[in-house]
Amino acid sequence: MTVNELEAQLDTICLQAKAAIVAADSLETLEQLRIQYMGKKGPIPQVLGGMGKLDPADRPKIGAKANEVKDAIQGDLDGKKNALQAAAIAAKLEAETLDVTMPGTYRPQGRLHPLTSTTDRILDILVGLGYTVAEGPEMETDYYNFEALNFLPDHPARDMQDTLYLPDGNLLRTHTSTVQIRYMENNDPPIRVAAPGRVYRRDTVDATHSAVFHQIELLAVDEGLTFTDLKGTLKVFLQDLFGEELEVRFRASFFPFTEPSAEVDVMWKGRWLEIMGCGMVDPNVLKSVGYDPEVYTGFAAGLGIERVAMVLHQIDDIRRLYNSDLRFLNQF
């Protein structure tokens, strides 16, 4: 085969490639053409394979011609690729263009649920008093829910009729006091922590009870804390929550994890209303987390978010907080 014949073949390949590139209508087709004409098994290497029969003096001419054809084809490939990419971007922009003159679709602005807003309000007060917010798992072990909190083995709260036990032996926490134990295990005194969260009990649902509800508990442990510190803290907290003129009273009570313990009432709209429980942390609880009760004392208190929300917003039935009734929720 002569030099002229090989050059003619290369010119034909170039023309065919250019025509195919011009006709390509997608990046996928263009990539197939690149492989077809520029790949190792393409027509150009096949033409170069016939150079072995040429005179050595003529071989550089065919090599140079092949390079020219490759450059020409590659240039057309690059140009077509840029054009196709630009067209794709333009089509996407056109499809996604918004007509700002069209009327919008009205969606009512969301509001915080009364339980959420009440929780936030309480935590804002406690954080302002120097407390750190902590959270823990809702599925707990008997140890964290009862044993570490000084519940005796025969305590009624351990009964199947009061607590939701799981098949694996764990349970759904009945209070957020479990968070206090976990926090104390990982932090040295002094500590001040507030623990909000969802809790579960086997209660019959009615206007004032729910099997699922929310609590916030606070805990302070330091050297020299007394019941006076507890009373002062709760009085400031409750007056900030309900109003500065609020009357507060403490009634003796019992909780396994505090000693002495008390119920806290507030004078609300002319009558005493029970609002929370509290007490000095029992020495056994301090021992269970490795604190020395001869050095440290502490106090704890807890209240139900639903109860506070119902008092603040004059809600007559706890079930209204869970019905997702917009006629009710729109009031907030």
What is the pLDDT, as a whole number, of residue 46? 75
Q: What is the dihedral of CA 147, 151, 157, 159, to 10 degrees?
A: 60
- Domain boundaries defined on the chain: 3-95, 115-329
CA 268: distance to chain centroid?
Answer: 37
| pTM score of the predicted model | 0.66
Residues 221 and 183: their CA atoms lie apart, in Å, by 11
Residues 180 and 177: their CA atoms lie apart, in Å, by 5
What is the pLDDT, as a whole number, of residue 1? 63
Residues 182 and 115: their CA atoms lie apart, in Å, by 25
Q: Tokens 């502490």 correspond to what residue?
A: 298
What is the pLDDT, as a whole number, of residue 121? 95
- 115-329 has CATH 3.30.930.10 classification: yes
Residues 117 and 30: their CA atoms lie apart, in Å, by 59
Q: Which of 175, 162, 151, 161 is nearest to 304 (CA)?
A: 175
Q: Which amino acid is at 126?
A: L
Residue 305, token pair as written in the block: 């978010």
Question: Could you tell me which residues come within 8 angstroms of residue 236 by beta carbon, excluding any fewer than 6 positions away?
Answer: 129
What is the pLDDT, as a whole number, of residue 300? 97
Q: Can you give the three-state secondary structure of the chain, one letter per residue?
A: CCHHHHHHHHHHHHHHHHHHHHHCCCHHHHHHHHHHHHCCCCHHHHHHHHHHHCCCCCHHHHHHHHHHHHHHHHHHHHHHHHHHHHHHHHHHHHHCCCCCCCCCCCCCCCCCCHHHHHHHHHHHHHHHCCCEECCCCCEECHHHHCHHHCCCCCCHHHCCCCCCECCCCCEECCCCHHHHHHHHHHCCCCEEEEEEEEEECCCCCCCCCCCEEEEEEEEEEECCCCHHHHHHHHHHHHHHHHCCCCCEEEEEEEECCEEEEEEEEEEECCEEEEEEEEEEECHHHHHHCCCCCCCCEEEEEEEEHHHHHHHHHCCCCHHHHCCCCHHHHCCC
| Residue-level pLDDT, tens digit, the chain, 332 residues | 677 777 787 788 888 888 888 888 888 888 888 888 788 778 877 777 767 667 777 677 777 877 888 888 888 888 888 988 998 888 888 887 777 788 878 887 778 899 999 999 999 999 999 999 999 999 999 999 999 999 888 877 777 668 899 999 899 999 999 999 999 999 999 999 999 999 999 888 898 889 999 999 999 999 999 999 999 999 999 999 998 788 999 999 999 999 999 999 999 888 999 999 999 999 999 999 999 999 999 999 999 999 999 999 989 899 999 888 888 888 88
Q: Tokens 């729109």 correspond to what residue?
A: 330
Q: Helices 114-128 & 227-242, crossing angle to 10 degrees?
A: 130
What is the pLDDT, as a whole number, of residue 17? 84
Residues 48 and 18: their CA atoms lie apart, in Å, by 20
For β-strands 132-133 and 191-200, DSSP reports them as: parallel
What is the pLDDT, as a whole number, of residue 52? 66
